[in-house]
Amino acid sequence: MDNKIKLRNAGLRPTKQRIIIADILLNGFNRHFTAENLQNEISISGNKMSIATVYNCLKKFKNAGLIKQVESYTDTAIFDTNNISHHHFLNEETGELIDINNNEINLVKLPDIPKGFINSGVDVIIKLKKNN
């Protein structure tokens, strides 16, 4: 269970609930998910967690940099276990996201950043429509 250590290193107290979530999310496989998706996976793993706790944990994990929240065109927050900078295809009909590796996109020209700000990340979203 070195997820206990991972949590501690991230500055999070390793509670029973956070360890359950870390065991599900931080296993090396990347995925996109909603709070409800995660609660279902927790149930499947034989555990039970209040939705408030799921949201609390997701916020903590996100602020600690263990997961990211990604853009969404729907009204449900989508999280991503892939912390490496990358981009997304968006299926406009379903809202589903598919990862695009950074090296598959080349942005050669960027606009001047407004005064007083710095660029804190660039997201490219390629919207997809069914080809009929």
* Contact residues for a copy of itself, defined by CB under 8 A: 69, 71-73, 75, 77, 89, 91-92, 98, 100-101, 104-111, 113-114, 116-131
Question: Least CB distance from residue 94 to a copy of itself, whole Å?
Answer: 11
Give me the helix-helix angle, 51-63 and 16-25, nearest 10°.
70
24-53 residues near DNA, rule: CB under 7 A? 34-36, 48-53
Nearest residue (CB) to DNA, 49 versus 128: 49
Q: How far apart are CA 23 and CA 46, in angstroms?
A: 13
For residues 69 and 79, the answer to whether their CB atoms sit within 8 Å is yes
Give the tokens for residue 87.
């981009």
Torsions phi, psi of 85, nearest 5?
A: -55, 125
Per partner kind, with CB cut-offs from 5 to 8 A, the member of a copy of itself, DNA, none near residue 94 is none
For residues 20 and 42, the answer to whether their CB atoms sit within 8 Å is yes
Per partner kind, with CB cut-offs from 5 to 8 A, the member of a copy of itself, DNA, none near residue 129 is a copy of itself
The residue with tokens 């706790």 is: 53
Binding site for DNA (CB under 7 A): 8, 12-18, 34-36, 48-53, 55-57, 59-60, 75-77
